[in-house]
C-alpha cells in the first residue's frame, strides 16, 4: 500500500512496523512532527509515548525503557542532542538491552533554528555510535526499521540523522497497512511491560570497569564495520566505464546529484552512503580505484571528504578528492549548486538561459518577518516591558515564539543563545555590571533548562528580573503540552527561594508596567509570571 | 508525461499552503505519478513568508524546484508572488490571489501588479479569490482551493479535476469538506 507521508511521519511508520514499545521526545523543529504524530496514535497502537521535560530527560527515560528490555525511539532536533549528549556517551559504553533508535534532525540553512548551523554528525565520532542518513522519506522509514535491527544485532543505540529537507519532504511511501495509523489499522495491542534484570557489570559505568566498557564498545564498532561493508544501503551505481570522475554523496544531497545528472544527461559513477558511521572503507576504496577525480558532495562540514581523502592516499597519490573547495560549507545544498560544481569537473556546459538572467534581475524586496498572532499574550507583555523598562535595560532572550521580541516594533532582545540561557547569562551580567537586566523565558523553556539557572540566581545572589511568559503550551513547535499542566511555575519559583513573585495576566498592562518598575528596583532576584493562554491554543480549543 | 511538472505555492503562514500541497500531491498519486514535495514548519509559519515546492512526474528525485524551472507559481498573497520570480522562466504561468497582506516596507498593490506583469511572457492570472470566497462563502481561508480549482479547470495543471476533488475528500477534515467542495465548484462560474 502506497501512502504520501511526510519524512517525520515515515519515521513513525517505520518505528511502528519495527514494533516500537516506548517513545520519548522533546519537541524541536525539524523533528517536531514525530512527537506530534505519536501523541495522536500511540495509545491505539500499544505504544507508550511522552513529551519529556527536555531531551536529556527524554533520552534517559528511553535508556530506562531499554534497560527494561523495551524497544524505544527517542526523537529530538540537533540542539537537543547537545543537551542529551551527557547521557549519550555512557549509553554507548553500557550498550542497550531493548533496541534503541535516536532520531536527530539537523537544519542546514537554519530554516527553523537559531543557535548555530549544527552538524550533528560529529556525535558519531564523539560517542562511537552508528549513524544512518536517509535521503528521502521512503528511506526515512526503511532506515528506521534497519536502525532497530542494527541496534538489536550489536547491542548499541543507533542514530538516524535527518535534515530539514528529509524531515519535511513528502513522497509516496510503501507501508504495511497492518501497523499503520495512516489509512491502515492500528496495531491493536496492549503496551507491553518489560523487566529490569539487575546486571551491575553492564549498567554501572564506574572505574575501573568503565575502561573495559570502552574496549567492548570499540570491539562492537569493529564488528559493525564488517556488517557495513556488506550493507546494501551503501550503494554503488556504476556509470560508463571510461569515466574518470566519480561522486560520493549521502543524505538529501544524493537526490540533488541524481537530479543534476538527469538534467545534464551525464552518466557518472556514484557511491551513495547510507551509513555515516562507521564507513564502508573497503567499498569506498574499491569505488575510487581507477578514478582520477572524486567529488564528495555533502552538506555543511567536510566529514566524509576528510575520511575519503585519507583512504584515497592509500590507493594513489594522484587521485584527487574534491569537496569543499568547490562546494559551500555554509547553508544547505541544492541542485543548482551541485550542478555548477559537476559541470566544472565534467567539462560540460550548463544551460543557464532563464535562471541566470533572473539572478541578475534581483529585485530588492523587503523581508516579511514572522509576527505574533492576533491576541498573543507575548505581544501584550512586550508592550508593557517596552513602556516600563528604563533606557539602557538589557533584555535577555530565550528559545520560543517570544524570540520575535527582537524584531520591530519591539526590539527587546540583546542576546539569544540556547534553551534556559536568558536567566543564567543575565545572572552573569548582573554579577559583572551594575546594569538593569530583564530575562524572558517561556513556560516550556523554564521547565527544560530554566530551573537550574534560577536556583543559581538565588544561590549566588544576583538581582535580575525574570519574566516567565506562561502561555500553557509549547507553542512554537506546534502546541505540545508541557509540565505546566500539573506543576505551577510560581510554586517552583517560591521553592527556589525567590521572594519577589507576582503572577499577572498581561492584558492588565498597567499592573504589569508597575510591577516591572517596582521589581527592577529590588536588590534581589524577582520573577513575574505573565500568564495568559496562547492565542493559537485558545482558537484551537474554541473550534 | 515526459518531464516533471514543477509547482511553487507561496503565501504567508496560516493561509493553508500545506493543505493545498497535500491535495495536489494526493491527486498526483491518484493518477499514478511519482511525487516529491518540500515545505516549511516552525516559527516562520507565524505570518511570515512561506514557500512550498511540489514536483510530480514519472520519476522525481529532488523535492525542490530549481531556479527558472517552475511550470506554475500559485500565490495566495500578491507580494509573495514577487518573491518567487527567481523560480520562473519566461514561460511560467502565474495564478495569483489579488490579496495584499501588507507589511512594513512592502510594496503597494498597483506597483506589485505592474512588476509582476513586466516579468516574462507567461500568462498571469490575477484573481480576487479571497474577495470572492469571503463574499460567496463567508470564508476567505478557502481561497487557495478556489485558485487550485481555477488552475485545474483552465488546464494549467496536468491533473484531472476529478482527481483533485477526490484528493480534497482525502485530505480535508470532514467538517470543512463541504466548504472546500463549494469553493472548488465556485471557481467554475
Indicate yes or no: CB of A170 within 8 angstroms of CB of B69: no
Tally the C-alpha atoms within 13 A of residue A192's C-alpha that lie toward its C-beta. Answer: 15
Q: Give the pTM.
A: 0.96
Indicate yes or no: CB of A358 within 8 angstroms of CB of B86: yes
Strands A275-277 and A131-132: antiparallel
Question: Which homologous superfamily is B5-186 in?
Answer: Pyruvate-ferredoxin oxidoreductase, PFOR, domain III (3.40.920.10)
A524 Cβ under 8 Å from any chain B Cβ:
no
pLDDT at residue A356, rounded to an integer: 44
User: What distance in Å separates the CA atoms of residue A241 and residue A263, rounded to the nearest whole number?
Assistant: 20
B positions 142-181 inside 8 Å of A (CB): none
pLDDT > 70 in chain A, percent: 97
pLDDT at residue A214, rounded to an integer: 98
Of A258, A359, A367, the CB nearest to B86: A359
My answer on whether omega of the bond before A409 falls inside 30° of 0, hence cis, is: yes
Q: Chains A and B: how many Cβ contacts under 8 Å?
A: 144
pLDDT in tens, A264-292: 889 999 999 999 999 999 999 999 998 99
Indicate yes or no: CB of B68 within 8 angstroms of CB of A4: no
Q: Domain A377-542: give its CATH code.
A: 3.40.50.970
Indicate yes or no: CB of B103 within 8 angstroms of CB of A368: yes
Distance from CA of B30 to the nearest CA of A (A): 10
My answer on whether omega of the bond before A431 falls inside 30° of 0, hence cis, is: no
pLDDT in tens, A27-38: 999 999 999 999
B positions 69-98 inside 8 Å of A (CB): 69, 79-80, 82-83, 85-86, 88-90
Question: Which homologous superfamily is A2-230 in?
Answer: Thiamin diphosphate (ThDP)-binding fold, Pyr/PP domains (3.40.50.970)
pLDDT in tens, A393-437: 999 999 999 999 999 899 999 999 999 999 999 999 999 999 999
Residue A127's H or E segment, with its range, is: helix A122-127
User: What distance in Å separates the CA atoms of residue A291 and residue A353, rounded to the nearest whole number?
Assistant: 32
B30 Cβ under 8 Å from any chain A Cβ:
no
- Whose CA is closest to A494, among A502, A486, A506, A505? A502
Task: Annotate A357-423 with DSSP letters as a single string.
Answer: HHHTT----------PPTT-HHHHHHHHHHHHSPTT-EEE--SSGGGGGGSTTT---SB--STTHHH
pLDDT at residue A361, rounded to an integer: 56
Indicate yes or no: CB of B79 within 8 angstroms of CB of A368: yes
Q: Which residues of A touch B18 (CB under 8 A)?
A: none
Mean pLDDT, chain A, as a whole number? 95
Domain with CATH 3.40.50.920 in chain A: 235-352
- Tell me if the domain spanning A235-352 has CATH number 3.40.50.1110: no
Burial of B137 (0-12, 13-18, 19+ CB in 10 A): middle
pLDDT in tens, B55-97: 999 999 999 999 999 999 999 999 999 889 989 998 999 999 9
Q: Which residues of A touch B76 (CB under 8 A)?
A: none
Residue A208 CB neighbours (<10 A)? 7
Q: Rg of chain B's alpha carbons, rounded to an integer?
A: 15
Q: Where are the domains of chain B?
A: 5-186
Of B46, B62, B68, the CB nearest to A354: B68
Q: How far apart are the first and last CA of chain B?
A: 29
How high is the ipTM of this complex? 0.96
Q: Which residues of A touch B122 (CB under 8 A)?
A: none
pLDDT at B1 over 70: no
Q: Which residues of A touch B66 (CB under 8 A)?
A: 259, 334-336, 355
Amino acid at each position: 500500500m502506497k501512502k504520501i507521508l511526510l519524512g517525520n511521519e515515515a519515521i513513525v511508520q517505520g518505528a511502528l512496523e519495527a514494533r516500537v514499545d516506548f517513545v520519548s521526545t522533546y519537541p524541536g523543529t525539524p523533528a517536531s512532527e514525530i512527537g506530534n504524530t505519536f501523541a495522536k496514535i500511540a495509545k491505539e497502537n500499544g505504544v507508550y509515548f511522552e513529551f519529556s521535560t527536555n531531551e536529556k530527560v527524554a533520552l534517559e527515560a528511553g535508556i530506562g525503557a531499554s534497560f527494561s528490555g523495551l524497544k524505544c525511539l527517542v526523537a529530538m532536533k540537533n540542539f537537543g542532542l547537545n543537551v542529551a549528549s551527557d547521557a549519550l556517551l555512557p549509553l554507548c559504553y553500557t550498550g542497550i538491552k531493548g533496541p534503541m533508535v535516536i532520531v536527530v534532525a539537523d537544519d542546514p540553512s537554519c530554516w527553523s533554528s537559531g543557535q548555530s548551523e549544527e552538524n550533528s554528525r560529529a556525535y558519531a565520532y564523539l560517542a562511537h555510535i552508528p549513524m544512518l542518513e536517509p535521503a528521502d522519506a521512503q528511506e526515512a522509514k526503511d532506515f528506521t526499521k534497519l536502525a532497530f535491527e542494527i541496534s538489536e544485532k550489536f547491542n548499541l543505540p543507533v542514530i538516524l540523522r535527518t535534515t530539514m529537507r528529509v524531515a519535511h519532504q513528502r513522497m509516496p511511501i510503501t507501508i504495511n497497512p497492518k501497523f499503520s495509523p495512516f489509512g491502515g489499522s492500528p496495531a491493536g495491542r496492549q503496551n507491553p511491560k518489560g523487566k529490569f534484570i539487575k546486571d551491575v557489570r553492564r549498567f554501572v559505568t564506574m572505574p575501573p570497569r568503565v575502561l573495559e566498557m570502552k574496549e567492548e564498545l570499540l570491539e562492537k564498532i569493529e564488528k559493525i564495520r564488517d556488517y557495513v561493508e556488506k550493507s546494501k544501503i551503501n550503494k554503488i551505481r556504476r556509470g560508463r566505464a571510461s569515466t574518470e570522475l566519480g561522486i560520493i554523496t549521502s543524505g538529501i544531497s544524493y537526490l540533488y546529484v541524481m537530479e543534476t545528472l538527469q538534467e545534464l544527461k551525464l552518466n557518472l559513477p556514484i557511491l551513495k552512503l547510507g551509513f555515516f558511521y562507521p564507513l564502508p572503507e573497503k567499498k569506498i576504496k574499491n569505488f575510487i580505484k581507477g578514478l582520477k577525480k572524486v567529488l564528495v558532495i555533502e552538506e555543511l562540514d567536510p566529514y566524509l571528504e576528510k575520511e575519503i581523502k585519507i583512504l584515497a592516499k592509500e590507493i594513489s597519490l594522484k587521485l584527487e578528492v574534491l569537496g569543499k573547495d568547490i562546494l559551500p560549507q555554509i547553508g544547505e545544498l541544492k541542485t543548482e549548486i551541485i550542478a555548477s560544481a559537476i559541470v566544472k569537473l565534467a567539462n560540460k556546459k550548463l544551460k543557464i538561459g532563464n535562471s541566470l538572467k533572473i539572478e541578475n534581475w534581483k529585485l530588492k524586496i523587503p523581508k516579511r518577518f514572522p509576527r505574533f498572532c492576533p491576541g498573543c499574550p507575548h505581544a501584550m507583555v512586550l508592550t508593557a516591558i517596552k513602556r516600563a523598562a528604563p533606557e539602557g535595560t538589557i533584555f535577555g532572550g530565550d528559545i520560543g515564539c517570544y524570540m520575535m521580541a527582537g524584531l520591530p516594533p519591539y526590539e527587546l532582545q540583546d542576546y539569544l543563545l540556547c534553551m534556559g540561557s536568558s536567566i543564567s547569562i543575565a545572572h552573569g551580567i548582573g554579577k559583572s555590571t551594575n546594569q538593569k537586566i530583564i530575562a524572558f523565558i517561556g513556560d516550556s523553556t523554564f521547565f527544560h533548562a530554566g530551573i537550574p539557572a534560577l536556583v543559581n540566581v538565588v544561590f549566588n545572589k544576583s538581582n535580575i528580573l525574570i519574566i516567565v511568559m506562561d502561555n500553557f503550551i509549547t507553542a512554537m513547535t506546534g502546541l505540545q503540552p508541557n509540565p505546566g499542566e500539573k506543576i505551577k511555575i510560581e510554586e517552583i519559583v517560591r521553592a527556589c527561594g525567590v521572594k519577589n513573585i507576582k503572577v499577572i495576566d498581561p492584558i492588565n498592562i498597567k499592573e504589569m508596567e508597575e510591577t516591572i518598575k517596582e521589581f527592577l528596583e529590588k536588590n534581589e532576584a524577582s520573577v513575574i509570571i505573565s500568564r495568559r493562554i496562547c492565542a493559537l491554543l485558545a482558537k484551537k480549543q474554541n473550534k | 508525461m515526459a518531464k516533471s511538472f514543477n509547482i511553487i505555492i507561496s503565501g504567508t503562514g496560516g493561509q493553508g499552503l500545506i493543505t493545498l500541497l497535500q491535495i495536489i500531491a494526493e491527486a498526483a498519486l491518484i493518477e499514478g505519478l511519482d511525487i516529491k514535495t518540500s515545505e516549511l514548519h516552525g516559527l516562520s509559519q507565524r505570518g511570515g513568508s512561506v514557500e512550498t515546492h511540489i514536483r510530480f512526474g514519472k520519476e522525481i528525485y529532488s523535492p525542490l524546484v530549481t531556479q527558472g524551472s517552475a511550470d506554475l507559481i500559485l500565490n495566495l498573497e500578491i507580494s509573495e508572488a514577487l518573491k518567487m520570480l527567481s523560480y520562473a522562466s519566461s514561460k511560467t504561468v502565474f495564478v495569483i490571489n489579488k490579496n495584499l497582506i501588507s507589511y512594513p516596507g512592502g510594496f503597494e498593490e498597483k506597483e506589485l501588479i505592474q512588476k509582476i506583469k513586466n516579468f516574462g511572457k507567461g500568462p498571469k492570472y490575477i484573481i480576487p479569490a479571497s474577495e470572492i470566497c469571503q463574499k460567496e462563502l463567508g470564508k476567505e481561508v478557502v481561497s487557495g482551493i478556489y485558485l487550485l480549482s481555477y488552475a485545474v479547470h483552465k488546464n494549467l495543471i496536468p491533473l484531472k479535476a476529478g482527481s483533485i476533488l477526490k484528493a480534497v475528500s482525502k485530505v480535508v477534515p470532514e467538517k470543512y469538506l463541504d466548504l472546500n467542495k463549494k469553493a472548488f465548484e465556485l471557481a467554475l462560474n
